[in-house]
């Protein structure tokens, strides 16, 4: 049976995202100020925030799969003339999932309109 390459990309993206979420949950459990006793408790407490953040991250990933040259066009429009095209691949899909949640944090901190739409994730 042949599994389409896009399914591999999505699986690696979801796996990377899940690893990042579990890392965050573990850090919260270890923190003396969070009050969270287990990863499961942290996941339950933050479930809605995690779903919203996953949706935003997945939408960005989907857009990147369809338009790998989007960053080049955006930066060229801002006056930076360079090629920032990153073709989808197994490693880049996994890294997009792993780092995407952090990028969502960064974007929400920098873009006022996103601050009302994207909830903060507890550390």
Domain residue limits, the chain: 5-115
What pLDDT is attached to residue 101? 81
What pLDDT is attached to residue 3? 87
Cα pseudo-dihedral 35, 36, 37, 39, rounded to 10: -170
What pLDDT is attached to residue 122? 57
**What does the DSSP 8-state code read for residue 4?**
P
* pTM of the shown model: 0.82
Q: How confident is residue 84, by pLDDT bands cut at 50, 70 and 90?
A: confident
C-alpha pair distances (Å), 70 with each of 27, 91, 102: 34, 19, 19
Q: How confident is residue 15, by pLDDT bands cut at 50, 70 and 90?
A: very high
Tokens of 122: 């507890």
Q: How confident is residue 123, by pLDDT bands cut at 50, 70 and 90?
A: low
How far is Cα 44 from Cα 20, in angstroms, rounded to an integer?
A: 16
How far is Cα 40 from Cα 97, in angstroms, rounded to an integer?
A: 21
Tokens of 109: 């901190």
Query: Please, what's the largest Cα pairwise distance for the chain?
Result: 50
């Amino acid at each position: 049976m042949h599994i389409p390459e896009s399914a591999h990309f999505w699986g690696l993206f979801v796996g990377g995202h899940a690893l990042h979420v579990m890392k965050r949950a573990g850090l919260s459990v270890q923190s003396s100020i969070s009050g969270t006793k287990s990863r499961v408790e942290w996941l339950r407490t933050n479930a809605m925030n995690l779903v919203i953040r996953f949706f935003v991250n997945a939408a960005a990933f989907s857009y990147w799969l369809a338009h790998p040259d989007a960053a080049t066009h955006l930066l060229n429009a801002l006056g930076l003339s360079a090629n920032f095209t990153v073709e989808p691949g197994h490693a880049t899909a996994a890294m997009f999932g792993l780092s995407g949640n952090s990028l969502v944090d960064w974007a929400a901190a920098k873009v006022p309109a996103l601050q009302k739409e994207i909830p903060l994730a507890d550390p």
